[in-house]
Amino acid sequence: MEIVFNFSLLIIGFVLLMKGADVFVDGASKIAIKMHVPEIVVGLTIVAMGTSAPEAAISITAALNNGAAISIGNVIGSNIMNIALILGLTSIIATLPIKDNTLKIEIPFVVIITVILCMMGYFFHEINRLAALLLIILFIAFLSYLYWLSKKGVDSVEEVEELSEKDTYLRLLALIVIGAVMIVVGSNLTVDAAKAIAKIFGISDRIIGLTIVAFGTSLPELVTSVTAARKGKTDIAIGNIVGSNIFNILFVLGISGLVSPSPIFFDSAFLIDGVIAIVAAVLLFVLSYSKKSLNRIGGIILLAGYIIYIVKMMI
pLDDT over 90 (residue 116): yes
pLDDT over 90 (residue 192): no
Residue-averaged pLDDT of the chain: 87
pLDDT over 60 (residue 304): yes
Calpha distance 79→210 (Å, rounded): 10
Average of per-residue pLDDT across 12-27 = 86
Of 2-6, 62-66, 218-222, 227-231, highest mean pLDDT: 2-6
pLDDT over 70 (residue 44): no
Contact 158, 48 (CB under 8 A): yes
Average of per-residue pLDDT across 144-173 = 75
Calpha distance 172→166 (Å, rounded): 9
Give the residue from 306, 277, 282 showing the smallest Cα distance to 118: 277
pLDDT over 90 (residue 125): yes
More confident residue, 67 or 100: 100
Average of per-residue pLDDT across 101-111 = 93
Contact 293, 97 (CB under 8 A): yes
Q: What's at 78, amino acid-wise?
A: S
- Residue 215 is predicted with a pLDDT of 86
197: Cβ contacts below 8 Å, ≥ 6 apart: 3, 6, 7, 10, 208, 212
User: Which stretch of 14-18, 36-40, 192-196 has the lowest confidence by average pLDDT?
Assistant: 36-40
Contact 9, 193 (CB under 8 A): yes
Residue 39: band (very low, low, confident or very high) from pLDDT cuts 50, 70, 90:
low
Q: Is the dihedral of CA 155, 217, 191, 59 positive or negative?
A: negative
3-state secondary structure of 295: coil
- Residue 48 is predicted with a pLDDT of 66
Calpha distance 228→230 (Å, rounded): 5
Of 8-12, 65-69, 220-224, highest mean pLDDT: 8-12
- Residue 23 is predicted with a pLDDT of 87
Instruction: Give the up-direction half-sphere exposure of residue 39: CA atoms within 13 A in the CB hemisphere.
Output: 7
Q: What's at 254, amino acid-wise?
A: G
